[in-house]
Amino acid sequence: MTPLPSSLAGFRIRALALACGVIIVCLAFTEYLARFIEKHVVTELRNELHQDGLEIRRQLEREMSERVTVLRQAVSFWLFSEEVSREEFRGYAGRLLSQKQELFFNLSYSGPDFKLRWAEPETLTRNVIGLDHSIDPYRYPHMTPQEIRDEVVIGGVYRLKAADREGFCIIAPIFYGTRFEGFITGTVVLEALFRDVISPAKLLDRHVTVRDSRGQGKILFNAGVEVPPGTLEERIRFTLENLEWDLEIWAQPLEKGLLNTPHHLIRLVGVLAALILGSALGGLWYGKQRIRSSEGSLRQHAAELEQANRRLAGANHQLEEANDQLEEANDQLKEAKLGNEYTIQELERANSRLEATNSRLGAVNEELATANTQLRDLNKELDDFNHVVSHDLKEPLRGIQAFSQFLLEDYADKLDEFGRSYLENLMSSASRMQQLINDLMQLARVTKTRATHQVVNMNHVLENAIQDLAYTIRVKDALLDIPKDLPEIWGDPTHLLILVKNLISNGLKYNNKPAPRLTVRWTASDNMVEFRFQDNGIGIDPRYHKKIFELFERLVVQEEYEGTGAGLAISKKIIEQHGGVIWVESTPGQGSTFVFTLPRADAREIETVEQPAH
């Protein structure tokens, strides 16, 4: 393959720089977004931990209130009965514990002397009968004749021997008027209390620790998932009379996996999007610059071909002159032989002229050989260019489209609306680039291939074009007015089908009416047929009536109307190959009429313009 010129090497460097710049910008934006979301996630988690702590504290308050209420009911039972025996107390306490067994570990009664007399269940508390409550102000605060008052009192935390666990007492004094009759005590096991307050669902992704603030931070309860270093913590203090606890709630680790946290997922998607978008933009820009450079090469090759044709024409003219001279020399020889009127000197002069003519013929043959060599080189360069367009440029586009489709299918639920929109725009740009390459290849085939002329029925050409565009016509709800008596044309049926499809497609594409309309009319002259394709589309400013037939010239933005701007240039090339002309009659907002001429089938002597086959 012919090596790339230095300008294309520069295009490659600029395309690489553009791709790197886009990748850096995308990565920077992705990192900013990931850090913002990570900060938001941490804030939300801290708020959740704080709300969990407040909820646990409210539940503790409700549980303690319920236990105090139960003890007040027991005091009311005592006061109502006036005289309560040991058996009556045990029966009442037994029923109460069976109904509210999750509230108290045991219930006991102590007399006015502050010594414990009865307890239920007795088997668990037999060794504490006769215990003097006034000697332990921590467990039983205000239990002295001087301090006792008609209020429920909550004692401090201590080790329950019967339960072999941490707990505390709730003490409800009994007063008949102002006479002190003793008190009822309910023993609460801390572990049972916290199991009631903290639901198992909270412990699935949290760790809860309860510490006794007045007991040098002693741990009273510890449950939940393991607590790795560096996790988030929220601390809430619970205070009720002699109880002062710190509730510590720890969150499960944030770093659970690459795809399980939103900020890591955004970083992954951002890297992929940056690589794809940067490669795509760089590749598209490089491809566009290479096409422009190739257009210049094509124009140069066309000029060289035209120059070679002129040299061939000059060589043919010299050959004709040489043949005339040879015929003249032969006539002179015949005359010399028949009449013996020429001298030997005249024959020698004739031979000299023949040798000079042969010498000129040799020079002409050398020029012809040189021209043929140049033509072969030009054809090879054209073939190389076709290979670059059809393979080297299409292959990366197919890769971009495939990987973009994979991302949309596999990661659509992980992308936000902007990410999906970026991928859809990328796929649309790749499709437009592929269509641009296809149009360029079609133009090359029309220019390079010799047209095969024959009698063509234009009715059949229009029917085939409408069948190929049936889906677009049905979607646009278009109305086509085409007569059934179209004439026969002397031309190439394949090229004429491309011409008609381009004109119908343009009439439907550049049309903003609810019901697009396309009308076809024709008139015949001596040797040519004039066709008129009229639509009710957006129209064309008269300033651009010639410009629209140039390659890749578009007058509207890509977002409003699709297309590459190659269709009319291809149509013009086809009509010129058939010896006709094309022009447009249009006013903006009033539609367009494309007028072109083609040779009649009964006028085959019309000279057509054809490119030589290579």
* Nearest in space to 115 (alpha carbons), one of 136, 97, 95: 136
Would you state the pLDDT for residue 326?
Answer: 78
pLDDT above 70: residue 449? no
pLDDT of amino acid 15: 72
What is the residue-wise DSSP string for 482-511?
A: --S-PPEEEE-HHHHHHHHHHHHHHHHHT-
Q: Across 44-53, 138-147, 224-233, 560-569, which has the greatest mean pLDDT?
A: 44-53
Q: Between residues 147 and 313, which one has the greater pLDDT?
A: 313
Q: What is the pLDDT of residues 59-72, one digit of tens each?
A: 888 888 888 898 88
Nearest to 531 by CA among 583, 606, 456, 590: 583
What average pLDDT score do residues 170-197 get?
Answer: 87
Between 205 and 561, residue with greater pLDDT: 205
- Residue 125: band (very low, low, confident or very high) from pLDDT cuts 50, 70, 90: low
Helix 394-411 with 262-339: angle, nearest 10 deg: 160
Q: Give the residue-averaged pLDDT of 475-484.
A: 92
> pLDDT, tens digit, for every residue of 186-217?
888 888 888 878 877 666 677 888 888 876 77
Quick one: tokens of 458? Answer: 């234009």
What pLDDT was estimated at residue 482? Answer: 93
Q: 83-195 and 449-614 share one CATH topology?
A: no
What CATH topology corresponds to 449-614?
Heat Shock Protein 90 (3.30.565)
* pLDDT at position 1: 46
pLDDT tens digits for 403-415?
677 777 777 777 7
Q: Give the mean model confidence (pLDDT) for residues 533-553.
A: 83
- CB atoms under 10 Å from CB of 504, counted, come to 24
User: Residue range 558-579: average pLDDT?
Assistant: 74
The residues spanned by each domain of the chain are: 83-195, 449-614
Residue 361 makes CB contacts below 8 A (sequence gap 6+) with 318, 319, 322
* pLDDT for res 381: 66
Q: 83-195 — its CATH code?
A: 3.30.450.20
Least trusted range by pLDDT, from 20-24, 108-112, 485-489: 20-24
Flag whether pLDDT at 481 surpasses 90. yes
Residue type at position 126: R
Q: What is the pLDDT of residues 316-370, one digit of tens each?
A: 788 788 778 878 877 777 776 665 555 677 777 878 888 888 888 888 788 878 8
Confidence class for position 401, pLDDT limits 50, 70, 90: low
pTM, rounded to two decimals = 0.40
